[in-house]
Chains A and B, each alone.
Chain A
């Protein structure tokens, strides 16, 4: 059974710092990995999707990497801002193609201090 772990559960950093959020998964047989952001009381917003054949994806100040063999992904946030404060979740999908149910980590709650 796939398990996704995100440690630590919470993180507080000063504004401007570059930071790395970690995600690990137990079964390396995945189709893709997604990073999401969740603001309090809101749904999840997709940030980046990395397919199993890819090593990384970038969007603005965000960069996500994937190392399938070691069961790890990192989300790098450059020059953090208070507006980045939110919960960040990673999720993996099983092999078999797109449109499969995802297994989620419990998320990392990030607070960026002005």
Chain B
């Protein structure tokens, strides 16, 4: 597709379970970002991949969170041993220097931890 694709769109899980969220960026976009949006809160930066450089993980809230990007394209955000405070919408975005870094977002993955 032409846009950023995220899956699943909704995920309900039990506390303590692991979850994986997937992001498929726009083809050719070298930068990929994960943000988190909690109810009534702003967007919280989590992690940023740029090409083959080491990712900027400075926003990950704990070591239960990790992300990888395979082949410079698809990214997976993994949350281990989920807690109720992890409930949020996880948004992925991608960008390209060719378009001055304009961010294009996916529709998000809504995570609910019971």
Contact = CB atoms under 8 A, between A and B. Distances in A.
A31 B101 contact: yes
B101 A104 contact: no
Interface of B: 4, 6, 30-31, 33, 35, 41-43, 45, 48, 50, 56, 59, 91, 93, 95-97, 99-108
Given A99-B50, A101-B45, A105-B42, A44 B105 contact: yes
B45 to A, nearest CB: 5
B56 A101 contact: yes
Nearest to B43: A104
B33 A101 contact: yes
B75 to A, nearest CB: 14
A36 B107 CA distance: 13
A106 B101 contact: no
Contact of A106 (B42, B45, B103): B42
Nearest to B41: A106
Interface stretch (A21-29, A45-53, A60-68, A69-77): A45-53
A102 B30 CA distance: 16
A85 B80 CA distance: 37
Contacts of A31: 101
A107 B101 contact: no
Contacts of B96: 98-99
Given A43-B91, A104-B43, A98 B101 contact: yes
Nearest to A49: B102
B106 A43 contact: yes
A32 B95 CA distance: 13
A99 B30 contact: yes
A97 B43 contact: no
A46 B102 contact: yes
Contacts of B33: 101-102
Nearest to B102: A49
